[in-house]
Amino acid sequence: MNISVKTASHTYEVMIGQGILAQAFTNYAPLFEKADQIIVLTDEHVWQAQATYFTNSSFFAFKTFIMPAGESCKSFENYEAVQTFLLEQQCTRKSLIIAFGGGAVGDLAGFVAATYMRGIPFIQVPTTILAHDSAVGGKTAINHKLGKNMIGSFYQPQAVLYDTVLLASLPEREVLSGMAEVVKHAMISDAQWLEEILQGNLVHLPEQLLAQYLALGIRVKANIVEQDETEQSVRKYLNLGHTYGHAIEAAAGYGRLAHGEAVMIGLVYSLLLSERYGQITRGFTKRFFHFVVANGYPFSAVNDYSFDELTTYLVKDKKAEYGELQFVLLKAIGEPFVQKVELAVCQEVDAELRNLIA
């Protein structure tokens, strides 16, 4: 299945399906043939699990740079190490980078590609469920010790080649993390799709249904990014669940909670807030909450931090503009809007979340 993403900089395709990688590489042969060098940036877990599949699918010669797994590849040190490698290999503006990994590898590789010699082409080959979100839309970034994703750029890939066979080696926790973003995409776009999700389960989806959900999620994201590449308006809707989620993720110290686990907590929080500003009912919020708990999402982290502790991070979140807390909420499922919320209300709803968890 192909989904095209049209942005101001250029239009590119997302190819998604089971076992498509070899075919996808062949479809993009001209891109590989015109590159003077092809550098695969990946991380140690991904390479350990999927090097054979990648190598068997590719017809071109490439060099590999294997980075520390997960979030640690988004450090300044690793960013510099990769740039040093590219320089040592005498990569030029005609070299091509392939990001082979999850969102962390994709974010780092995208930022490397955006900045090496003022920009060289890159291709995303995502290997996590979460990356259906992160690989599309062109946000690239590394982390600063004062904040996650604080240093980055908007830089679109040449293509996203998403082979769902690669997801088979994902640890269950990473499945949960990624599915939170799928649920988010359903919540901001389509009540019927969300209902279908709520009738099933999130961890052991049949491969074909998973691929279908990922394609739906990519469509939602692509559609929004096309309207608003640099987050001036509707792109904000993609932050549903992320304001509170980021606060929990930061308070817990990145790594204790997977990104999507924190986002799922944030999604429940945003439903509770939406009861006040939209037509979401407490009955629905409870049903949603029990569904995600039954699927294994952890909520206990909330109890480890007081609201005051979370507030420091809530206010620091880059979505807090002019000292006010901005949330994406739902008038109804599929109808997101942006709402400024006073801190006192945030605290009341935080207490409601803690009650729900108790």
Q: Which residues are catalytic?
A: 118, 139, 181, 221, 231, 235, 239, 242, 246, 259
Binding site for ligand NAD (CB under 6 A): 43, 45-46, 49-50, 69-71, 74, 101-105, 107, 127-128, 130-131, 133-134, 137, 139, 149, 166-167, 169-170, 174, 177, 259
Residue 120, CB-side half-sphere exposure with 13 Å CA sphere: 25
Q: Looking at beta carbons only, is 285 or 295 nearer to ligand NAD?
A: 295
CB of 4 to ligand NAD, least distance (A): 18
- DSSP per-residue codes, 151-190: EEEE---SEEEEEGGGGGG--HHHHHHHHHHHHHHHHHH-
Dihedral of the CA atoms 111, 112, 115, 116 (nearest 10)?
Answer: -170
Q: Kindly calculate the radius of gyration of the chain based on its CA atoms and give it in whole angstroms.
A: 20
CB of 18 to ligand NAD, least distance (A): 14
CB of 260 to ligand NAD, least distance (A): 6
Q: Looking at beta carbons only, is 83 or 169 nearer to ligand NAD?
A: 169
CB of 224 to ligand NAD, least distance (A): 11
Q: Looking at beta carbons only, is 46 or 329 nearer to ligand NAD?
A: 46
Nearest Cα neighbor of 209 from 240, 251, 179, 242 is 179
Q: Do you know the residue count of the chain?
A: 358
Contact partners, residue 348, CB within 8 Å, separation at least 6: none
Strand-pair partners of 152? 141
CB of 127 to ligand NAD, least distance (A): 4
Q: Looking at beta carbons only, is 103 or 121 nearer to ligand NAD?
A: 103
C-alpha 141/C-alpha 144 separation (Å) is 10
Q: Looking at beta carbons only, is 50 or 189 nearer to ligand NAD?
A: 50
Q: What is the Cα 340 distance to its own chain's centre?
A: 24
Residue 291, CB-side half-sphere exposure with 13 Å CA sphere: 21
